[in-house]
Structure formats: structure tokens, C-alpha cells
């Protein structure tokens, strides 16, 4: 069982993990966001309830960047999702993207949000499968990212 909670300073040590080169080409590390004080982004941690341990991280960004992915002003952009390598392969990513958890987090912290959008690099097939398995729908829209073309996915809340 997992819980999605806002980032706090007590989580910083647990978010100091490093990803391998393959994963790094598709996402940013949590450390890249720790000192970012933007008011238009919620930084969330994925907490394993049984271990009482942070196992992952993502950002829900409701700033202007989302308009590259959607025209919906009530949408948020999911970005920089990662799971600690020591915790990968245990279902944390899939569970954290479960509609129930995302909806509950958004309802609590971003109550006007009615859609989550994201971009997945065309070469990141494993991430595409993960998002599709968890209910995200591939859109007709594509965007050009830093590492090439990205497919846009959306989840209506």
C-alpha cells in the first residue's frame, strides 16, 4: 500500500537516489526539484505505508508548460516521475499512478484539477506501457521534448 503526500524537508535524504543512464535520459532527478520554489507545482513523494519509506517522486505542474500538452486550464502536467532504483520492480510506479491515489491527491491539494497530462519520449516504450496500463490515454497531440518527440497522454479525473 502506498500514499501520495506533498514533499517536505524531512524527505530530502530519501530522495538523493541516482538513476542509471538509460532512465536519466527520460526524467529529472528529485534533487533537481528540491530547491525549486515555484508556486505553480506540487512536488509529491510516494510513500510505502508498510516500510514508512519514501520510494519515489513526481511533480504535478499547473504552470504554463502544461499548455504544450493540453488546452485545458484545469489540467496539471505530471513530470519528473521516478522510483528509487532500490525499490524498482515492486509495483510502486504502477500503484502510484492508480486513478484512486492520483484523484485523491489532486482533490486534496489541487481541487480544481480535472485532468492529468504528461509527455513520454517515443523511445521510452516501458513508460508508455506503464501509463497505458494505469488508464492514461494516448492523445493525437505530440510535442518536441529535449530528447526528441514525445507522445502526449491524458487521464481525466
Domains of the chain (ranges plus CATH)? Answer: 2-111 (3.40.630.30)
Helix (H, G, I), strand (E, B) or coil at 127: helix
Q: How confident is the model at residue 39 (pLDDT cuts 50, 70, 90)?
A: low
Instruction: Give exposure, 47-78, as e/b (b: 16+ Cβ within 10 Å).
Output: bbeeeeebbbbbbbbbeeebeebbeeeebbbb
Q: How far apart are CA 123 and CA 120, in angstroms?
A: 8
Residue 37, pLDDT score: 75
Among candidate residues 127, 109, 105, 1, the one with its CA nearest the CA of residue 53 = 1
Whether 40 shows a pLDDT value over 80: the answer reads: no
Q: How confident is the model at residue 25 (pLDDT cuts 50, 70, 90)?
A: confident
pTM over 0.85? The answer is: yes
Mean pLDDT of 110-132: 95
> What pLDDT digit, counting tens, does each position of 65-111 carry?
999 999 999 999 999 999 999 999 999 999 999 999 999 999 999 99
> What pLDDT digit, counting tens, does each position of 131-146 carry?
999 999 999 999 998 8
Q: How far apart are CA 15 and CA 82, in angstroms?
A: 10
Q: Where are the alpha helices (DSSP H) in 13-146?
A: 21-24, 31-34, 92-96, 99-109, 125-133
Angle at 38 (CA atoms; ends 7, 31), nearest 5 degrees: 50
Amino acid at each position: 500500500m502506498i500514499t501520495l503526500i506533498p514533499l517536505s524537508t524531512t524527505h530530502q535524504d530519501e530522495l538523493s537516489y541516482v538513476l542509471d543512464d538509460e532512465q536519466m535520459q527520460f526524467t529529472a532527478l528529485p534533487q533537481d526539484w528540491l530547491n525549486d520554489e515555484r508556486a505553480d507545482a506540487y512536488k509529491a513523494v510516494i510513500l510505502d505505508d508498510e516500510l514508512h519509506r519514501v520510494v519515489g517522486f513526481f511533480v504535478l505542474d499547473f504552470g504554463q508548460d502544461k499548455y504544450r500538452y493540453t488546452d485545458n486550464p484545469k489540467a496539471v502536467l505530471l513530470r519528473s516521475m521516478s522510483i528509487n532504483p532500490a525499490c524498482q520492480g515492486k509495483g510502486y510506479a504502477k500503484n502510484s499512478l492508480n486513478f484512486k491515489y492520483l484523484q485523491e491527491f489532486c482533490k486534496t491539494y489541487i481541487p480544481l484539477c480535472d485532468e492529468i497530462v504528461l509527455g513520454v519520449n517515443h523511445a521510452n516504450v516501458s513508460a508508455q506501457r506503464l501509463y497505458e496500463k494505469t488508464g492514461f490515454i494516448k492523445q493525437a497531440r505530440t510535442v518536441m521534448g529535449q530528447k526528441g518527440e514525445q507522445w502526449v497522454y491524458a487521464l481525466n479525473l
